[in-house]
Every structure is written in C-alpha cells, then in structure tokens.
A and B are shown apart, each in its own frame.
Chain A
Amino acid sequence: MSAFIQLVVSGLATGAIYALVAVGFALLWQTSQTINFAQGEFVMVPAFFVLVAIKYWGFGYWPAIAVGFAISALLLGAAFKGLVVEPMLRHGVLPLVISTVALAILMKEAVKDFYSSQAQQFPAIVEGTDLDFLGAVVSTQSIAVIVVAIGAVALLNWFLSSTLTGRAMQATAQNRNVARILGIDVERMILYTFLINGLLTALASFLISPIYLAKFTNGETLGLAAFVAAIVGGFNQVRGAVLGGLILGILDNLAAAYVSAQYRAAVPLVVLVAVILWRPQGILGRVEERSV
C-alpha cells in the first residue's frame, strides 16, 4: 500500500508539472489555434535563462528567477507571438505546427551549441527535506511543486473567470468575431494569452529543474506530455488540461510499476488513445463547433 501511495504522490508531482504546461498549451489553442510543438522546449529553456543570469551576470537566486520570468514572457510570450505565430496565422494550422516543430529543434540546438550539451544542476527554492506520509516518503520539493502548480492554475482560473480582463480573454477564445463586436481589444487579449503561457512554462521550468536537472533534451518528454494531457482534457479546456496532466503523471508511474517498465512510454498513450476513440471531445471537453 505504501508503495502505491508513493507512486501516486510522485505521479501527482510530475502530473502537476504536466498540468501547468498543458494549461498553457490549451490556452494557446483556444485563443489562436496554435498547436505548439515547442511547448516542451518552452519549459526547458527558462532554466537556462536563470543559469545565465546567475553564472554570467552574477545575479542572486531571486533576482535571477525574476529575470528568468521576464525574459520568458518577452521571448516565449511576446516574441513567439509576434515573430512566429502572427505571420503564419493566415496560412492555417499545419504550417504553424511545422514551424513550432522547427522552433523546438532550433531551441534545443541553440542551448546545446551555446550553453552546454551536459545536464546542469539548478538551485532549488525549497530545501529538500523528506517527510513521511502514510508510509510513503515525500520530499518537500515535490510538495512545493504540487502546491505551487495547483496554486498557479487556481489563480489563473480565478483570473479568467472573475476579472474583466480574464472574461474578455475567454470571450476572445470562444468567438473572436463576437468579442470584437463587443468592443474587446482582441489583439491584446491574445497577447495576454501568450504572456501567460510564457510565464506558466517558466514556472514549470523553475519547479522541475532542481529535481530533473537542466538539460537541452528535457523538453522532448514534457512537450509530448503537454500535448497528450491537453488532448485528453479536451484541448479547449483549462480544467480538462489540468485533469489530463494529473492523470498522465499518475498513469505513467503506475504503468511502469504494475504493467511493464519496458513499455512504460506506450502504456499511458495506448490507454489515452482508447479514451479518445471513445470520447473524441476529451474527458471534460465540449464538442468543438466548426465554422466551415
């Protein structure tokens, strides 16, 4: 039993990260029909912004984190929107998908060529102390990850549903033309979405890099996980993406322990494919309206 709890708690910590990343993924899809295949690299890179700030600019931990957030919002949010997504929106979904696939390669290669091909240690926010929880050992780091990630998603949810700007963003996501008629500054709302995505992926980066180490290949697994979590959650649903992330994290661990370690990468995928075939709109998703 303690083993089971151990697996679920560890899975939750990983799943919380997936959820953070998947939420941003779903937000981008909602507001700008962007399927971001570089989302995993968006989580990989901010850790290196911080490392550069610490190593080369001599910043302390918190200032470096602040710089990391700022650069992420700027590059992964605003610049990504302006330079990559915007010029391609009129071409439809596919060219943008391809472009983000290329962007993922670009980011990976850039980190490898200009920083290092080796894994790097990354400073932790919380000292890792281990706590006993129903027979399972949980590190305070994992708890911090879960708390911060869930807190961030809750905050985002509150922002989207209770503030004027948030509701304007949701209106934009649901129907751009109607939003425009209602007098909403659609362009600005879309920009906000990209900034939020940049911040979310940066947060995910700072939470996991102390545990998983910072390395240029880290985005590969995370990006796929975000994609899968978002699809399972319904692709157009923030809450769905959260649920999808958590399910994937737990499923991952349980599959490796109880089904097959050698097939651990495929078990969650196959289960989720079955789910999708049974419920194409995702677990919490609505059927997407088509305007043909």
Chain B
Amino acid sequence: MASAGLVRGTLAAVTVVVLAAGPEFLRPSQLYLVSLWAVTAIAAMGLNLTLGYAGQISMAQGAFVGIGAYTVALLMQAGLGFFPAFLAAGVLCFAVGWLLGYPALRVQHHYLAFVTLAFTTLVYLLLRNEQWLTNGVYGISGIQRPTALGFAFGTAARFYYFCLGIMALFLGAMWWMIRSPWGRAFMVLRENPVRALSLGVDTRRYTLLAFAIGSAVGGFAGGLFAPLVQFLEPNSFSLGYSLSLLLMVIVGGAGYLFGPLVGAAVAILLPDFLRFTEGYYLLLYAAAVMVLMAFCPQGLIGLSERWQANRRARLAAGGER
C-alpha cells in the first residue's frame, strides 16, 4: 500500500503548508480560532493519554487547564517570565494529578469519574471564592503574551505560530511516548489490565503515571490559554468544560494520536464554518455525537480507518477477480 502512504504524506505536507501560510489569508478572528484550536487540542491530547491509552475516565481535564492558566497568569503578574511560568504550570499539574490520582485510582472506573468530578467542582469553587489570589468572579485581565529571545509574540499572527509550534512539539512528544516502553505499557493496560498485571506491569503505577502526565499536559494547555484569551474567569473551567474536552477526545477518536486534533477541530473550528446552523449547532453536534457513538465509537478517525479498510478489501477482492 505504498500509494496510501504517499497520500498520507502529501496530505500531511499540505496541511502543514496551509497552516504555515495561515496568516496570509486568515482574518484575525480566524487566526484566534485556529490558535484556540491548537491550545484545546493540546488539552485533549493530555486527556487522550488518560482516557485513550490508559482507559480511565477523567472529568478533571478542564480543571487542570484552569490550574495551568491561573498559574501562568499569576506568576507572570508576579513578574516571572512566560517560560518559567509555563513550566511551573505543567509541573504543578503533574504534582496535583499525582496526588489526586494516588487515592482515586485505588477505586477505578465510575469511581475515578466521581472523584475527578468532585475535584473539578472544588477547583472551580477555589478559583471563584479565593479572591485574594485569583481575583474571584472579576477575573484576571491584561495577561501579556510571551517574548522569546527578544522576539515578542504579541500580534495575532505571531502568537498563532507560537501556539501551533507548541502544539507540534506536544504532538511529537506524544508520538514518541506511545512508542516508548511506557506507552506500550499504557496500551496493554487499556486492552487487558489482567494480562498487564500477569506480565508484571505495575498497573496502578502506570495508570497513575498516565493520569499525572495527562494532567500536566492539560496544565501546559492552560499555560497557553491564558496569554491567548488574555482574560481568565472561573466559569471557563467549570465541569462543562471538562465534559466538552471528554467529548472532543471521543469524537476525534480516543487512543489515536491525531484524535484530539480532529475532535477539537469539530468542536471549535467547525461551528465557524457552519454559520447557517447558528443557534442550533450544539443541538446538531450532540445528535451527531450520539449517532457516531452508535455506529463507530472509535470516533471519526476510527470511522475513516474503517472506511479505508473496507475500500482496501474491496480493491483486493476486485484485484483477485
């Protein structure tokens, strides 16, 4: 199937070129939207690690994005540069994820969902109520965009490249991780936890690791969210956000490298191009998700793979004749 590989390569190259040329033909609002897509896709990638590879339902990814975003905003207000603040956001979320997951993963499945749900509620209330720290319901505004080596990413176009660049970095890291021994251990966990155990994989430790790394990636996404939106308020990180990230991962295809990118595109970019659905988009989106789940729970990527496999089978059958 050399031709399929060629097609993939060409598509990938074209996508990269189109995204790279974005500022040439996209309007500022569309640049913002694509940047938001990149940031959301990173958050979804983190959740994909927890959900798609380690098989755990987390309803806390939105909360980790929130923690990351506030960490960056507050540290930058305190005079720290963007990059140390960004790093701190990821490290903090890794630590919090570890601490949350440690007890929660004693009890799995719907209990982890419950514990993460409680966590998300608590984080939202902390962000809202602890006004001395987070400025509460009034929110934080005027967050600066980063400067690197004397180069300011202030304009929409420059920050667009910045977001896409970081997203590409994370995509690469994910690619590397799922091919590493860690990633393979994660996957065994999802496919067959009992077998994993019998193979001597410390299931709890690896699940915990997947959850903590996924949370850290959520924190990094938050670290980009803050300078992108330049305004933070607690409402953005309530339970609804975690649920919509969960939907994105599943819709795109949980356990596929590119799943989160597709899922985030459907949730963030598509409404902008389906303007005629104005007001009914959410309704249609929900209905589409239900249909997708009924026919192809592997998500859109699973759907396209299945379609390709079918076509290949048909071609092969035709070739034999």
By beta carbon, the residue of chain B nearest A93 is: B109
Whether the Cβ atoms of A96 and B283 lie closer than 8 Å is: no
Q: Which of B67-75, B158-166, B200-208, B286-294 contacts A (4 or more CB under 8 A)?
A: B286-294
Q: Which of B30-38, B121-129, B143-151, B268-276 contacts A (4 or more CB under 8 A)?
A: B121-129
Subset of 12 A-B contacts with CB under 8 Å: A91-B293, A92-B297, A93-B109, A98-B297, A102-B287, A105-B286, A106-B290, A113-B279, A262-B125, A270-B122, A277-B104, A277-B106
Asked whether any CB of chain A lies closer than 8 Å to the CB of B57, the reply is yes
Interface residues of A in 260-292 (CB under 8 A from B): 262-263, 265-266, 269-270, 272-273, 276-277, 280, 292
Q: How far is the CA of A241 from the CA of B82 in the complex (A)?
A: 48
By beta carbon, the residue of chain A nearest B243 is: A101
Q: Which of A69-77, A157-165, A183-191, A224-232 contacts B (4 or more CB under 8 A)?
A: A224-232
Task: Tell me which of B103, B117, B287, B297 contacts A277 (CB under 8 A).
Answer: B103
Whether the Cβ atoms of A265 and B125 lie closer than 8 Å is: yes
By beta carbon, the residue of chain A nearest B279 is: A113
- Closest A-B pairs by Cβ, 3 of them: A95-B297, A269-B118, A106-B286
Whether the Cβ atoms of B247 and A103 lie closer than 8 Å is: no
Whether the Cβ atoms of B106 and A280 lie closer than 8 Å is: yes
Asked whether any CB of chain A lies closer than 8 Å to the CB of B194, the reply is yes
Given known A266-B118, A273-B115, contact A98–B294 (CB-CB < 8 A): no
Q: How far is the CA of A277 from the CA of B289 in the complex (A)?
A: 33
Whether the Cβ atoms of B125 and A94 lie closer than 8 Å is: no
From B111, B282, B290, name the one whose CB has the most chain A CB atoms within 10 angstroms: B290
Whether the Cβ atoms of A276 and B280 lie closer than 8 Å is: no
Asked whether any CB of chain A lies closer than 8 Å to the CB of B13, the reply is no
Chain B residues near A96: list those with CB within 8 A.
293
Asked whether any CB of chain B lies closer than 8 Å to the CB of A120, the reply is no
Residues of A within 8 A of B (CB): 35, 84, 87-88, 91-99, 101-103, 105-106, 109-110, 113, 224, 227-228, 231, 235, 262-263, 265-266, 269-270, 272-273, 276-277, 280, 292
Whether the Cβ atoms of A88 and B118 lie closer than 8 Å is: no
Chain B residues near A35: list those with CB within 8 A.
110
Q: How far is the CA of A285 from the CA of B12 in the complex (A)?
A: 52
The contact string, 1 if C-beta is below 8 Å from chain A, for chain B 108-142, is 01110011011001100100110000000000000
Whether the Cβ atoms of A87 and B294 lie closer than 8 Å is: yes
Given known A95-B250, A231-B110, A269-B122, contact A276–B115 (CB-CB < 8 A): yes
* Given A101-B247, A113-B280, 7 further pairs, Cβ under 8 A: A87-B294, A87-B295, A91-B293, A98-B293, A99-B294, A109-B280, A265-B121
Task: Tell me which of A84, A92, A113, A292 contacts B290 (CB under 8 A).
Answer: A84
By beta carbon, the residue of chain B nearest A100 is: B290
Asked whether any CB of chain A lies closer than 8 Å to the CB of B246, the reply is yes
Asked whether any CB of chain A lies closer than 8 Å to the CB of B107, the reply is yes
Q: How far is the CA of A172 from the CA of B21 in the complex (A)?
A: 60
Chain B residues near A276: list those with CB within 8 A.
107, 111, 114-115
Chain A residues near B111: list those with CB within 8 A.
231, 276, 280
Q: How far is the CB of B100 from chain A (nearest CB, A)?
A: 10
Whether the Cβ atoms of B107 and A280 lie closer than 8 Å is: yes
Q: How far is the CB of A243 from chain B (nearest CB, A)?
A: 17
Residues of B within 8 A of A (CB): 57, 103-104, 106-107, 109-111, 114-115, 117-118, 121-122, 125, 128-129, 194, 239, 243, 246-247, 250, 254, 279-280, 282-283, 285-287, 289-290, 293-295, 297
Whether the Cβ atoms of B282 and A109 lie closer than 8 Å is: yes
Whether the Cβ atoms of B115 and A292 lie closer than 8 Å is: no
Q: How far is the CA of A158 from the CA of B287 in the complex (A)?
A: 38
Given known A97-B57, A262-B129, A266-B125, contact A102–B297 (CB-CB < 8 A): no
Chain B residues near A280: list those with CB within 8 A.
106-107, 111
Given known A35-B110, A91-B297, contact A105–B117 (CB-CB < 8 A): no
Whether the Cβ atoms of B114 and A228 lie closer than 8 Å is: yes
Whether the Cβ atoms of A98 and B129 lie closer than 8 Å is: no
Whether the Cβ atoms of A277 and B107 lie closer than 8 Å is: yes
Q: How far is the CA of A67 from the CA of B112 in the complex (A)?
A: 39
Q: How far is the CA of A87 from the CA of B296 in the complex (A)?
A: 10
Chain A residues near B290: list those with CB within 8 A.
84, 99, 102-103, 106
Chain A residues near B104: list those with CB within 8 A.
277
Q: How far is the CB of A236 from chain B (nearest CB, A)?
A: 11
Chain A residues near B114: list those with CB within 8 A.
227-228, 231, 273, 276
Chain B residues near A99: list those with CB within 8 A.
289-290, 293-294
Whether the Cβ atoms of B121 and A266 lie closer than 8 Å is: yes
Whether the Cβ atoms of B297 and A106 lie closer than 8 Å is: no
Chain B residues near A109: list those with CB within 8 A.
280, 282-283, 286
Chain B residues near A97: list those with CB within 8 A.
57
By beta carbon, the residue of chain B nearest A86 is: B294
Q: How far is the CA of A102 from the CA of B107 in the complex (A)?
A: 26
Chain B residues near A224: list those with CB within 8 A.
117, 239
Chain A residues near B57: list those with CB within 8 A.
94, 97
Q: How far is the CA of A91 from the CA of B292 in the complex (A)?
A: 12
Whether the Cβ atoms of B294 and A106 lie closer than 8 Å is: no
Q: How far is the CA of A276 from the CA of B283 in the complex (A)?
A: 35
By beta carbon, the residue of chain A nearest B294 is: A87
Q: How far is the CB of A90 from chain B (nearest CB, A)?
A: 9
Given known A99-B293, A113-B279, A276-B111, contact A106–B287 (CB-CB < 8 A): yes
Whether the Cβ atoms of B250 and A263 lie closer than 8 Å is: no
Chain A residues near B107: list those with CB within 8 A.
276-277, 280
Q: How far is the CA of A88 from the CA of B250 in the complex (A)?
A: 14
Chain B residues near A92: list those with CB within 8 A.
297
